[in-house]
Amino acid sequence: MTKLTENPFKFGDPVQGDYYYPRPELSSAVRQFLENQVHVVLMGPRRFGKTSFMLDLFSQLEGSGYTCLLVDIFNVTSHRDFLHQFLRALRRKKSLKGKLKEWGKRLGRLVPQLSLDFDNYTGQPTLGLSLGQLADQDVKTAIQDLLDELTGLGRRVIVALDEFQQISQLDDKGWLEATVRSHFQKLPNVSFLFTGSRKSLISEMLNDPARPLYRSCQTIEFPSFGHDFSDWVVERFATVSIPCSTEAVDHLRVLVQDTPNYVQMVCFHLVAQARPKVEINDVEEVLDTVARQNAYAYQTLLNSLTLAQQRALRLAANEKQSLFQKEMLVKYEISSAPALHNSIKALKGKGILDEEGTGKGKVLFDDPLFAYWLRMSFPM
């Protein structure tokens, strides 16, 4: 049987190996801090490759004798969810099986209601069920105890909380934030690596003197790729004998706010459609199609917003800067600068927009495809 040629592009899930374009400078910067016991917050937009980066970094660090644990807390809504995700991360690591068992026994004595059968449970349902019966106080005890135990996972331990801004969203008066913070001192051989995509939430956590994590971590901005990434994409096309112009890739990167996930997605479709070559118009055609496929979801999202917010979004999608200038407000029928400010604030609260790294009067779309669709649907 002849094997179909594999598509050299992948999107959606974290990537590794040939599908991953390395980020050596970022790796060594982050490593330096973690190795010196400095906790790091890695901040970058959604779908920028944060998880892929961490997986790559962890495989390097494990090679040098570190024990690394990656906990994904993106969808965590409660302490129980948090505990659950932590246990899942531990369970995924075969090497920690013994430790997990020991801990289960000890915790069973601490919180008698917690009757986790660590020998038997293999599937999540059992675990979910037993956790489901726990009172919040017991869950808190379990979380504290679990964090205490991190120090025993290995000689040098690195714990990553992926999408960690989520801990600030729990309705717990900052308990989890404070608990994590208090473990910074308690765990001398553990470094934490936090990643997050909601910039405004993260800066509130780190820059407000009243918050537990105030200035406790080194912040690093997750950088966009340089021009060499376009060359890499062209080379990936070459592996399936499709000539692709660098200009086309550069153009694509601008259209999708330099989000690697969407670069790979569009390229995936270009290969799947067996285009004989890739130029700027090919890229645009595919992006149009993909954006149109999402129209229903985008329309629904728009309908959930006020008219003022919808206008603010059109403005943000079409204009790169100087959003607050008089002419802009007039052009987009926005009543005043403070009104625009309020709309943008509300849109940030909903996670639709986020702050731009540098410039004032600039915003970033959480989903650049949504911005593309808005430009397509409401051209100005």
Residues that bind ligand ATP (CB under 6 A): 10-15, 20-21, 23, 46-52, 197, 260-261, 264
Beta carbon nearer to Mg ion, 51 or 67: 51
Beta carbon nearer to ligand ATP, 103 or 298: 298
Give the list of residues 6+ apart from residue 275 with CB closer than 8 angstroms, or none: 242, 282
Shortest CB 72 distance to ligand ATP, Å: 8
Return the one option of Mg ion, ligand ATP, none that residue 20 interacts with (CB less than 5 to 8 A, by type): ligand ATP
Neighbours of 101 (CB within 10 A): 12
Task: Pick left, alpha or beta for residue 158 (phi over 0 → left; psi -120 to 50 → alpha; otherwise beta).
Answer: beta
Return the one option of Mg ion, ligand ATP, none that residue 52 interacts with (CB less than 5 to 8 A, by type): ligand ATP
Return the one option of ligand ATP, Mg ion, none that residue 15 interacts with (CB less than 5 to 8 A, by type): ligand ATP
What would the x/- binding string for Mg ion be over residues 36 to 55, using CB under 5 A? ---------------x----
Beta carbon nearer to ligand ATP, 165 or 264: 264
Shortest CB 321 distance to ligand ATP, Å: 25
Beta carbon nearer to ligand ATP, 20 or 378: 20
Beta carbon nearer to ligand ATP, 46 or 99: 46
| Token code pair at residue 211 | 């918050």
Shortest CB 205 distance to ligand ATP, Å: 18
Judge contact between 372 and 287, C-beta under 8 A: yes
Place of tokens 């731009």: 356
Residue 146 CA to residue 327 CA, distance in Å, equals: 56
Residue nearest to ligand ATP according to CB distances in the complex: 49
Shortest CB 11 distance to ligand ATP, Å: 4
Measured in Å, how far apart are the chain's first and last C-alpha atoms?
53
Neighbours of 85 (CB within 10 A): 19
Return the one option of Mg ion, ligand ATP, none that residue 10 interacts with (CB less than 5 to 8 A, by type): ligand ATP
Beta carbon nearer to ligand ATP, 53 or 373: 53
Residues of this chain that bind Mg ion (CB under 5 A): 51
